Amino acid sequence: MDWGQILDNSISAAIRPNAIIFALAAIGLNVHFGYTGLLNFGQVGFMAVGGYFAAISVLEWNVPLVVGWLVGLLAAGGWALLLGYPTLRLRADYLAIVTIAASEIFRLSVMAPTFREVTGGADGLSGFNDDWNSLNPFPSGTYGIGFLKFSAAETWAIVVGWTLVLLSVLLVYLLIRSPWGRVLKAIREDEDAVRALGKNVFAYKMQSLVLGGSFGALAGIYFVSQQASVVPSNYSTAQTFYAYVCLILGGTARIWGPVVGSMLFWAILTLTNDTLRELVANDYIPESIMDPNQVGQVRLMLVGLGLILLLVFRPQGLLGDRRELMLEPS
């Protein structure tokens, strides 16, 4: 058992692109669920819309990747309007059902052979991120402090990613402190009271859905840019629930909650994953109980169990404040 290596992996997982992607997605969910009380169970749909539209606009219209990013963000905004319009006047769980259904509609559609020309079918798309690589200012080599070692490409991805996360956190911080943000929190607490004060609750909810969805799209766009490909199998519904675990683990309705939660989530996930793999490889767990292929399934079981235990025993997560929780029906 190489504990040192496992520990190194876990700590670096907290700053690798996966943690960044889920931090961004969870920041979006924090705007929806934490501050406005909207149940978006299709955050992965926003990620997919952002990622696909960015990739397709570069490949089909030959625009620079930066324009592709904007197209992806705009598409996600449109996606939010489309989903919000029928559901935001209804009870909270309707939005949940529609968002999860819509994310599946999108995934199944891009996977369909009918659209293969544009979306690449089940194989997805690649070859759209030349700009991403040519913008990389780091000459090839190894960068890092102590045991944390990253290649030039990884360093570039990490620097861009964490810059995006910090900017997003700053934006959310400023918006939530503004009068606009206070209305969102008021909607979370008591929608009818806000309506009685003459605010257009529907419009505020819609703005919140668009904003949070854009963070989701940003996560998706960043994901495909640094990974150099976009594949439909990366957008299963489970990804949304990962983002929820990140958010609740860190602390709902807290500025840093989603970021801390995502770092912690990936560190814990890598720790359990590597430990289980080592245990299986060194025969501490006999093959008859678990083979190496089943480690991934145990990991997902732990995510489910973690979600249950968190909500039963510590719904406010690590940083949360119980009084700020939107855990009652609206």
Q: Which residues bind other proteins (CB under 8 A)?
A: 39, 41, 83, 85-94, 96-98, 100-102, 104-105, 108-109, 111-114, 191, 238, 241, 244, 248, 290, 294, 297-298, 300-301, 303-309, 311-313, 315, 326-330
Q: How far is the CB of 243 from other proteins (least distance, A)?
A: 12
Q: Looking at beta carbons only, is 178 or 233 nearer to other proteins?
A: 233
Q: Is 56 exposed, middle or buried (0-12, 13-18, 19+ CB in 10 A)?
A: buried
Q: Looking at beta carbons only, is 104 or 324 nearer to other proteins?
A: 104
Q: β-pairing, 125-126 with 142-143? A: unpaired
Q: Looking at beta carbons only, is 44 or 248 nearer to other proteins?
A: 248
Nearest to 32 by CA among 185, 198, 227: 185
Strand partners, 114: none
What is the DSSP code (8-state) at residue 139? P
Q: How far is the CB of 165 from other proteins (least distance, A)?
A: 24
Q: Looking at beta carbons only, is 16 or 188 nearer to other proteins?
A: 188
Buried b (16+ CB within 10 A) or exposed e, 268-295: bbbbbbbbbebebeeeebeeeeeeeeeb
Q: How far is the CB of 48 from other proteins (least distance, A)?
A: 14
Strand partners, 142: 151
Q: Is 199 exposed, middle or buried (0-12, 13-18, 19+ CB in 10 A)?
A: middle
Q: How far is the CB of 277 from other proteins (least distance, A)?
A: 15
Q: Looking at beta carbons only, is 108 or 193 nearer to other proteins?
A: 108
Q: How far is the CB of 111 from other proteins (least distance, A)?
A: 8
